């Protein structure tokens, strides 16, 4: 296929469905697009520069989806129409059929843009929230009620923090219970939140994936139809028709060394065919010769009543090499948090614990670990 020119695609948080025609043209092989946030000039300029906007690109590429880029240059996953459509079809197959979609998250990220693509594939008009002033529960309920009047199956995709916010109000709970499935991804789900959701009859599906896999391709630990997964030396590898065609700005990256597969930066294990994600390869903390996946301690923190968010990082320490420190949000006091971690080995307890009103974020529900490190 002849080369095209990579174009920027500004996404307005007040009206993300305005890009539907652009997405149709990209899927039809007419354009190659890089979604960028309309009102974030610095991020947009960074993406334009690193992803070589205005230069030729393989004509088979429909979208270049940037990674969060919290620790350096954002990588640009090159997604073909086949990648995007196979992901959308597999999602509908797993969920039990096509339906109406509500978009309550930024559409310049893969989770948000896939809501729009699934709607295009299903032939329905998606409904999107105006996120100019954040995720507002009254608007979420009104939009959900409007979609429910169609009588079709009802789906949405949320970050864990959005789910927790919705579950804090009766309005939010009413809206959540109307959905046939809620796709929850981008970060670990608080086990307390999941238990409460199940008790309330809220139908949650946890997702695992990334821009490199055209969005979530493992649901509740099981691969979507057509997707594959394996764990090699503790590292999770994902395969299938939704795997990106490498990186725009890093063409020889080792993550795509095996054709048809993406080597993630996560560790995990398969337990009777179910994938259990343990943590990031590059975030392991070595404290006095003992190694800790911060996600293990984060899950323990999230299990403490009154903790709504948690981030664990390692900081330089003259004797230990790295000291384990943690920041959390929620109503629990530091004393209550430490008491709630009583069953953990003492070496895993944070050497310093900091309470924040809100954890710093770099995307929908993704905590900015670098930002937390700077706090200590």
Confidence bin at 141 (pLDDT 50/70/90): very high
Q: What is the CATH number of the domain that holds 62?
A: 3.40.50.12780
Please say whether the beta carbons of 115 and 126 come within 8 A. yes
CB under 8 A, 24+ apart: contacts of 223-230: 223/275, 224/87, 224/90, 224/91, 224/93, 224/94, 225/89, 225/90, 225/93, 225/94, 226/86, 226/90, 227/90, 228/261, 229/270, 229/275, 230/270
186 vs 332: which has the higher pLDDT: 332
Same domain, 209 and 262: yes
Give the range of the structural domain holding residue 177, as residue numbers without chain letter. Answer: 4-276
pLDDT at 58 exceeding the cut of 90:
yes
Same domain, 52 and 167: yes
Region 88-108: what's the mean pLDDT?
Answer: 97
Same domain, 221 and 305: no
pLDDT at 68 exceeding the cut of 80:
no
Per DSSP, helices labelled H in the chain are 20-27, 41-50, 81-95, 110-122, 137-148, 160-167, 170-176, 191-199, 294-302, 334-340, 369-375
Region 279-283: what's the mean pLDDT?
Answer: 82
Region 156-162: what's the mean pLDDT?
Answer: 93
Confidence bin at 69 (pLDDT 50/70/90): low
Same domain, 14 and 150: yes
- The DSSP bridge pattern shows strands 235-239 and 261-271 to be antiparallel
Same domain, 35 and 116: yes
* Residue where a domain terminates, one of 216, 241, 276: 276
User: 3-state DSSP helix/strand/coil percent for the chain, to nearest 5?
Assistant: 30, 30, 35
Strand partners, 367: 361
Same domain, 246 and 155: yes
Q: What is the per-residue pLDDT across 246-261, written as a single tens digit (0 to 9) for each?
A: 999 999 999 999 999 9
* Residue 242: predicted pLDDT: 98
Region 67-89: what's the mean pLDDT?
Answer: 88
- The mean-pLDDT minimum among 34-38, 161-165, 189-193 falls in 189-193
Tell me how far apart the alpha carbons of residues 60 and 81 are, in angstroms, rounded to a whole number.
Answer: 8
Handedness of CA 125, 158, 18, 65 (dihedral sign): negative
Residue 57 phi/psi, 5° resolution? -145, 150
Confidence bin at 70 (pLDDT 50/70/90): very low
Please list, in sequence order, all residues whose beta carbon lies within 8 angstroms of the beta carbon of residue 71, skipping any fewer than 6 positions away: 282, 369, 370
Can you say how many angstroms the Cα of residue 187 is from the centroid of all Cα atoms in its chain?
A: 6
* Residue where a domain terminates, one of 276, 299, 321: 276
Confidence bin at 10 (pLDDT 50/70/90): very high
* Residue 186: predicted pLDDT: 85
Same domain, 147 and 66: yes
pLDDT at 278 exceeding the cut of 90:
no
- 351's tokens: 């050497």
Can you say how many angstroms the Cα of residue 269 is from the centroid of all Cα atoms in its chain?
A: 20
Tell me how far apart the alpha carbons of residues 254 and 218 are, in angstroms, rounded to a whole number.
Answer: 22
* Residue where a domain terminates, one of 276, 301, 319: 276
* Residue 230: predicted pLDDT: 97
Tell me how far apart the alpha carbons of residues 85 and 120 are, in angstroms, rounded to a whole number.
Answer: 10
Mean pLDDT over the full length of the chain: 94
* Residue 72: predicted pLDDT: 67
Residue 112 phi/psi, 5° resolution? -75, -45
Region 44-63: what's the mean pLDDT?
Answer: 96
Same domain, 219 and 253: yes
Same domain, 125 and 233: yes
Same domain, 312 and 251: no
Confidence bin at 161 (pLDDT 50/70/90): confident
- Percentage, residues of the chain above pLDDT 90: 86
Handedness of CA 204, 206, 211, 217 (dihedral sign): negative
- 24's tokens: 């149709």
Place of tokens 């009802």: 154
If one counts the domains in the chain, the total is 2
Region 101-121: what's the mean pLDDT?
Answer: 96
- Percentage, residues of the chain above pLDDT 70: 98
* Residue 285: predicted pLDDT: 92
Q: What is the CATH number of the domain that holds 310?
A: 3.30.300.30
* Residue 99: predicted pLDDT: 97
Tell me how far apart the alpha carbons of residues 119 and 102 are, in angstroms, rounded to a whole number.
Answer: 9
Same domain, 213 and 267: yes
Same domain, 119 and 162: yes
pLDDT at 85 exceeding the cut of 80:
yes
């Amino acid at each position: 296929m002849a080369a095209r020119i990579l174009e920027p695609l500004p996404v307005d948080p007040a009206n993300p469905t305005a890009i539907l025609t652009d997405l149709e043209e990209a899927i039809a092989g007419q354009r190659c697009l890089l979604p960028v946030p309309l009102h974030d000039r610095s991020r947009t300029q960074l993406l334009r520069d690193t992803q070589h906007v205005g230069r030729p690109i393989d004509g088979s590429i429909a979208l270049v989806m940037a990674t969060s880029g919290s620790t350096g240059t954002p990588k640009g996953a090159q997604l073909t129409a086949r990648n995007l459509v196979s992901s959308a079809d597999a999602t509908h197959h797993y969920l039990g059929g096509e339906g109406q979609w509500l978009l309550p998250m930024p559409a310049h990220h893969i989770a948000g843009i896939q809501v729009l693509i699934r709607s295009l594939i299903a032939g329905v008009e998606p409904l999107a929230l105006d996120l100019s002033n954040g995720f507002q529960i009254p608007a979420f309920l009104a939009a959900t009620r409007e979609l429910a009047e169609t009588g079709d199956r009802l789906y949405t995709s949320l970050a864990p923090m959005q789910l927790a916010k919705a579950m804090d109000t009766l309005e939010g709970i009413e809206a959540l219970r109307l959905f046939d499935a809620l796709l929850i991804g981008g970060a670990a789900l608080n086990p307390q939140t999941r238990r409460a959701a199940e008790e309330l009859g809220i139908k949650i599906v946890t997702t695992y994936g990334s821009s490199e896999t055209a969005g979530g391709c493992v649901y509740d630990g099981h691969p979507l139809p057509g997707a594959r997964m394996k764990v090699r030396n503790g590292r999770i590898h994902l395969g299938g028709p939704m795997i990106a065609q490498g990186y725009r700005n890093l063409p020889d990256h080792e993550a795509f060394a095996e054709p048809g597969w993406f080597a993630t930066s996560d560790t995990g294990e398969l337990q009777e065919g179910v994938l259990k994600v343990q943590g990031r390869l590059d975030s392991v903390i070595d404290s006095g010769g003992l190694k800790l996946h911060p996600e293990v301690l984060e899950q323990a923190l999230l299990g403490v009543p009154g903790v709504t968010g948690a981030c664990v990082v390692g900081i330089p320490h003259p004797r230990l090499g790295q000291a384990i420190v943690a920041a959390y949000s929620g109503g629990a006091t530091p004393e209550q948090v430490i008491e709630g971690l009583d069953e953990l080995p003492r070496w895993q307890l944070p050497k310093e614990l900091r309470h924040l009103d809100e954890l710093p974020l770099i995307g929908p529900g993704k905590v900015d670990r670098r930002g937390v490190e700077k706090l200590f």
